[in-house]
Structure 1
Amino acid sequence: MSLRSPVGRVLGLGAAGEGVGHWWTQRVTSVALVLLGLWFVIALIGLPDRSYETVTSWMHDPFNAVMLSLLVGTAVYHSLLGVQVVVEDYVSDHGSKIVSMLALQFIHFILGALGIFSVLRVAFGSAA
């Protein structure tokens, strides 16, 4: 016995199948943020002091720069996924929903790019 309507069976219509992928992506980014966050805290605790010079020299290490970039990128992407769910659930007007989603994606892209650029600028040495 199927719960699908006869028209749905004939036309092959049904769920888009995107919800599970979104859910899994949120969970994977959550686990990645926990692991990256633990690495970050442990790495900072291991520094002799928290001075600007010490932290910037720590960021010059390629491994640390890559891990920080991953932390920033994963955090921004996880944030986008979470805010997207809120907009989809609570914004009822279709036009407002599209405008909100585009604005949020743009803002998150800019934040991610600025964060990763900042890490790389410090890692490679800044001109200023």
Structure 2
Amino acid sequence: MSYMTDRKRAEGLGSAKSGTEHYWGMIQSSVGLLILVPLFVFTFGPILGSSYEEVIAYYSRPFPAIVAALTIVVSWLHFKNGAQTAIEDYSRGTTRKLLIIAVNCIAYAAAAAGLFALVALAF
């Protein structure tokens, strides 16, 4: 039998004061992806299967390059925030911290690699 009060049991488990901000960030990135993914598909589709020179010429134009860059950045940030939420919900302790660090590193590295590849095509 525990003689702890309800307040003592709940201490340290309360609001981190960032849930609403995180939620709205996920909503904004979702809406951004609702716009960006179809744009990306319609800009990437016509060049699919073309020669390397045609792809370079196509992504040297600003609109397809900007759409691809925005899609890469927004999608990886959305992934990072969603994975971090799942990790925070289902893991504890040191494992939680290590997983969050790993997901952040993977997301930023993948976004940087995608942007590097796009810049290499565009220039």
TM interval, shorter chain, is: 0.7 to 0.9
Instruction: Report whether the alignment pairs 1:31 with 2:65.
Output: no
**Corresponding residue for residue 117 of structure 2:** 118
The alignment partner of 1:50 has SS state of coil
The alignment partner of 2:63 has SS state of helix
Question: Mapping of 1:1-128 within 5 angstroms?
Answer: 15-45=15-45, 47=46, 50-52=49-51, 53-92=53-92, 94-124=93-123
Q: What is the RMSD of the two structures over their aligned residues, measured on CA atoms?
A: 1.8
CA shift, 1:39, in A, is 0.8
Quick one: which amino acid aligns to residue 105 of structure 1?
Answer: N
CA distance in 1 between counterparts of 2:47 and 2:96 reads 48
Scaled by the length of structure 1, what TM-score is found?
0.77
In the comparison of the two structures, how many residue pairs are matched? 110
Deviation string, structure 1 residues 7-38 (Cα, Å, up to 9, x no partner) = xxxxxxx6332001111111111111110111
CA distance in 1 between counterparts of 2:30 and 2:44 reads 21
Scaled by the length of structure 2, what TM-score is found?
0.80
Conserved 8 A contact 2:72-2:114: yes
CA distance in 2 between counterparts of 1:49 and 1:74 reads 22
The alignment partner of 2:119 has SS state of helix
- In structure 2, stretches of 5+ residues that fail to align are 1-6, 8-13
1:107–1:48 Cα change, 3 Å:
closer
